[in-house]
Amino acid sequence: MTMFPDSAEQAGALGGEHGIEGFEYYCTPRGEHERSAKTLAWESIDKMASSDAFHAIPLIGSRPLLQIIGERAVTAWMAVEAHQRAVGPKEIHWIKDASHVDLYDKKEYIDPAVDKLTGFFTAGLAATA
């Protein structure tokens, strides 16, 4: 099963802004890789549909959890669900105006994320020293 159509316009017709973003990253020199098949095996569809990726989150236990999410990320609901299932200290940090794909390689969104991570790890590692 092909994951991306032939053009950004077709991707937009199928998946809106999220479809266009995926196409513009995975199907252009911005993020494309020569060995990427850009397909999905039909045999894996049922496994993905029936999988619960969140069931093991409580196993993180008392370890601190930081999730960095773009405000416009279509995947934000997943982070919120993971946050709700986490049992230890947890924090969600929203990156203003960023989408999911923006956090891959756009400096104006990555820099605030790195700053947040730096503070999180600095405080967390200092507490264990």
| Segments making up each domain of the chain, as ranges | 1-51, 52-129
- Cα–Cα distance between 67 and 16 in angstroms, integer? 25
Given a cut of 80, whether residue 46 has pLDDT beyond it is: yes
Mean pLDDT, to the nearest integer, of 85-98? 96
User: Are 99 and 123 a contacting pair, CB within 8 Å?
Assistant: no
- Cα–Cα distance between 98 and 17 in angstroms, integer? 13
Given a cut of 70, whether residue 129 has pLDDT beyond it is: no
Mean pLDDT, to the nearest integer, of 11-17? 92
pLDDT cut 90: percent of the chain above it: 72
pLDDT tens profile 63-83: 899 999 999 999 999 999 999
What pTM was computed for the model?
A: 0.84
